[in-house]
């Protein structure tokens, strides 16, 4: 039996009209209407019968149907209850798709995946992420106990630039470090804003993240490491020294300990946070732990 692709302008319009669906700006709903882009996303994700996939925000199922054709099983989290009825129809040909009407940020990912996925296969996250909540969703996956092998996710190009940024660039910041600590990040390709309904204001990027076998750097305390990286970018124009004082305190004893830690790590306090590599942040974090600052 032949099925009409969901991701064409005419089919998308037909489905939306049938269900009287109106877009909710608050949920960042932008539906792709270009099948070739969806095929390229699936290609970038390198899916097979030996892969289970999690999707966030399936919408009317445009990407979901492509995932279903290649992956063993697809688990899709859709927060908008109005779309569940639509997905029941559009995903009817794909028995390997399970849609859950739940906010992914509130989901116990380990428990849910154990319940849904019948086989213990590598898990990949492939999704067109809602722009307004891209970072929290990504960090939810990265910081969960769920073993995610790869993520191939669409986001605003600007956020993609920040995630893949290298030191001493304008886009480099605490988000770059947080993601690159866990994953190897690269830009797969750019998606023009014209490929969506409704059309967003900016172009998008497909970012590919591959889980590192061990974190990029070795740190004594992960929580303290991420606190430090956030502190360093607190006010980008300020020196590392001023940002550290703002976070850890300006007492004389704290200043003395910070001075020792910076010296041990071999970092000039006059530098700005954006010039430090992941390794330098790790060295400084470990030095701070030595002088009892966390």
Cβ density class 73-87: b for 16+ within 10 Å, e for less: bbbbbbbbeebeebb
pLDDT value, residue 43:
96
In the chain, the number of structural domains is: 2
Query: Does residue 217 belong to any structural domain of this protein?
Result: no
233 and 206 fall within a common domain? no
pLDDT value, residue 201:
87
160 and 257 fall within a common domain? no
User: CA torsion angle for 68, 119, 80, 106 (degrees, to 10)?
Assistant: -150
Give the annotated binding-site residues: 30, 32, 57, 78, 103, 128
79 and 59 fall within a common domain? yes
155 and 116 fall within a common domain? yes
pLDDT value, residue 1:
42
pLDDT value, residue 76:
98
Q: Which of 145, 178, 211 is the last residue of a domain?
A: 211
pLDDT digits (tens, 9 = 90+) for 91-101: 999 999 999 99
115 and 234 fall within a common domain? no
Rounded CA gap, 71 and 34, in Å? 20
Name the DSSP class of 50: T
Q: What's 250's domain CATH number?
A: 1.10.8.100
pLDDT value, residue 286:
98
pLDDT value, residue 31:
85
Query: Does residue 173 belong to any structural domain of this protein?
Result: yes
15 and 119 fall within a common domain? yes
Query: Does residue 4 belong to any structural domain of this protein?
Result: no
140 and 72 fall within a common domain? yes
pLDDT value, residue 132:
83
Rounded CA gap, 259 and 110, in Å? 42
Query: Does residue 1 belong to any structural domain of this protein?
Result: no
Q: Is the distance from CB of 197 to CB of 10 less than 8 angstroms?
A: no
Q: Which of 183, 211, 239 is the last residue of a domain?
A: 211
Structure tokens belonging to residue 220:
């004594």
21 lies in which domain range?
9-211
Query: Does residue 115 belong to any structural domain of this protein?
Result: yes
> Cβ of 14: how many Cβ atoms within 10 Å?
12
Rounded CA gap, 279 and 170, in Å? 19
Q: Which of 180, 211, 242 is the last residue of a domain?
A: 211
Give the annotated binding-site residues for S-adenosyl-L-methionine: 30, 32, 57, 78, 103, 128
Longest dimension (CA), the chain: 76
Give the chain's residues under pLDDT 50: 1
Name the DSSP class of 273: G
Query: Does residue 20 belong to any structural domain of this protein?
Result: yes
pLDDT value, residue 22:
81
- Which strands make up the sheet holding 52-56, listed edge to edge? 97-100, 73-77, 52-56, 123-128, 148-156, 204-211, 183-191
What pTM, to 2 d.p., does this model score?
0.92
Query: Does residue 216 belong to any structural domain of this protein?
Result: no
190 and 234 fall within a common domain? no
237 and 185 fall within a common domain? no
Average pLDDT in the chain: 94
149 and 31 fall within a common domain? yes
């Amino acid at each position: 039996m032949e099925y009409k692709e969901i991701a064409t302008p005419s089919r998308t319009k037909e489905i939306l009209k049938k269900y009287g669906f109106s877009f909710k700006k608050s949920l960042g709903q932008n539906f792709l209407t270009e099948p070739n882009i969806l095929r390229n996303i699936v290609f970038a994700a390198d899916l097979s019968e030996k892969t289970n996939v999690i999707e966030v925000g399936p919408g009317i199922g445009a990407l979901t149907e492509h995932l279903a054709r290649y992956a063993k099983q697809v688990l899709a989290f859709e927060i908008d209850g109005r779309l569940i009825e639509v997905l029941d129809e559009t995903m009817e040909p794909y028995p390997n798709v399970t849609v859950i009407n739940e906010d992914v940020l509130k989901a116990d990912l380990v428990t849910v995946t154990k319940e849904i996925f019948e086989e213990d296969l590598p898990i990949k996250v492939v999704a067109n992420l809602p722009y307004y909540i891209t970072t929290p969703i990504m960090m939810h996956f990265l910081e969960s106990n769920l073993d995610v092998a790869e993520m191939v996710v669409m986001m605003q190009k600007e956020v993609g630039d920040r995630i893949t940024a290298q030191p001493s660039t304008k886009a480099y910041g605490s988000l770059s470090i947080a993601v690159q600590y866990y994953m190897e990040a690269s830009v797969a390709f750019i998606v023009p804003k014209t490929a969506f309904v409704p059309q967003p204001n900016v172009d998008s990027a497909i970012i590919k993240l591959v889980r590192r076998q061990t974190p990029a750097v070795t740190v004594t305390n992960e929580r303290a490491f991420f606190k430090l990286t956030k502190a360093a970018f607190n006010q980008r124009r300020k020196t590392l020294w001023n940002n550290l004082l703002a976070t850890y305190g300006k007492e004389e004893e704290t200043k003395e300990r910070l001075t020792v830690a910076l010296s041990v790590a071999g970092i000039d306090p006059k530098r700005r946070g954006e010039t430090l590599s992941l390794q330098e942040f790790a060295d400084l974090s470990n030095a701070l732990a030595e002088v009892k600052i966390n």
